[in-house]
Structure 1
Amino acid sequence: MQAYFFTTLLLVSLAAVSHSAGTNQSHSVAWGGRMFRDTHLERVIITEKSRFLRVVTRDYHFQQIGLQRRITQIVVTDQVRNGGGGYAHLVAGGPNSHFVKIHFKSQRNKGFSFIVDIYGI
């Protein structure tokens, strides 16, 4: 079951990367898939300003309190669409779990701005 999950996650990530390699230079990515009766669990904007000759990073943690809903999809939308934005990496949790940890990293001498939407059932 875990092998199937990681294989699916890898294929979705590769599809997102190949999609962003075209004329659209956005680094947006989506993990998982929406299902019937999904609810929007959270929307957050993650932003870091650039620092001279540095790479800036930031981690985002989503932990549910109370009712534990299963995450079905995570959509990370890059707001810097000219290819100068950062990158998002799923570190822990994600689809089919109750939490998520995402690591954001900029390009050298650049900042980033992402919108993170989390859906669950």
Structure 2
Amino acid sequence: MALKLMLGLAALIALVASANSQSHNMAWGQRISGDRLLHNSIEYEEFKPLQIVKRDVYFPKSGEINYATITFINATDQYVNDNGGYISLLAGGKDLCITMFVKFSYNYTFSNFILITIIR
């Protein structure tokens, strides 16, 4: 009986620990040999009381042209406690121009690092 209780408690602790270490990292495509960095940006938003901050991130930016082929898109959440921003791909993707949506939850300061690598 005590062994079952200990195993159950250990499983519960492991479940809570894994839930608390969740991040919202996203990756599209696959890195391959010869990839090089095309774009690197840090999306950052200060704390705003009781507000959810949303932003669209475009690549290439207005007025710019991208002649390279996007092979991999990586968006890394700087927080691993499930309190970071949410990243989703709205339009485009691998081999195309992209539009990403970044949503920062309220009551925290967040920084999302968005990394795009390409190959020609």
Cα deviation for residue 92 of structure 1 reads 1.1
Decide whether aligned partners of structure 1 residues 40 and 32 sit closer, same or farther in structure 2, where only a CA change above 3 A counts: same
* Structure 2 gaps, min length 5: 1-17
Count of matched residue positions in the alignment of Structure 1 and Structure 2 = 100
- Which one-letter code corresponds to 2:86 in the other structure? Y
Task: Report what 2:24 is aligned to.
Answer: 27
Retained in 2: the 8 A contact 1:59–1:103? yes
RMSD across aligned C-alpha pairs, in angstroms? 1.9
In structure 1, C-alpha distance between the alignment counterparts of 2:87 and 2:68, rounded to whole Å: 23
1:92 aligned partner = 91
- Say whether 1:46 aligns with 2:70: no
Q: Name the CA shift for 1:54/1:66 in 2 (closer, same or farther; >3 Å).
A: closer
How far 1:66 moved relative to its partner? 5.1
1:110 is matched with: 108
Runs of 4+ in structure 1 off by over 4 angstroms are none
Assess, with a 3 A threshold, how the Cα gap between structure 1 residues 23 and 82 changes in structure 2: closer, same or farther. Answer: closer
- Deviations for 1:4-43, whole angstroms, at most 9, x for unmatched residues? xxxxxxxxxxxxxxxxx75632111111111221111011
Q: 1:54 to 1:23 in 2, by over 3 A?
A: closer
> How far apart are 1:46 and its partner, in Å?
0.5
Q: Tell me the secondary structure at the aligned position of residue 26 of structure 1.
A: coil
- Go from structure 1 to structure 2 and tell me whether the alpha carbon gap of 1:30 and 1:22 turns closer, same or farther (over 3 Å shift): farther
- 1:56 pairs with one of 45, 53, 56: 53
